[in-house]
Amino acid sequence: MAKAVAMMIDANKANNQNIRLLDLGCGEGYYNRKMANFCKHSEQIAFHGMDIAKFAIAAAAKKQHDARFIVASSNRLPYPDQYFDIVLRVFAPSNDEELKRVLNSSGHLLTVTPSPRHLWQLKEYIYDDVTEHALESLVPQGFKSVSAQRISYKIAPNPQQRMALLQMTPFAWRANDSARQSLSNVSDLDIETDFILTLSTKTAGLESA
Per-residue pLDDT tens for 90-132? 999 899 999 999 999 999 999 999 999 999 999 999 888 888 8
What's the gap between Cα 96 and its chain centre? Answer: 16
pLDDT higher than 70, residue 137:
no
Which CA distances in Å does 138 have to 79, 91, 150, 185? 24, 11, 13, 36
Instruction: Check whether 21 has a pLDDT greater than 70.
Output: yes
Residue 10 has pLDDT above 60, yes or no: yes
pLDDT of residue 136: 66
Q: How far apart are CA 194 and CA 58, in angstroms?
A: 30
CA angle 151, 156, 162 (to 5 degrees): 105
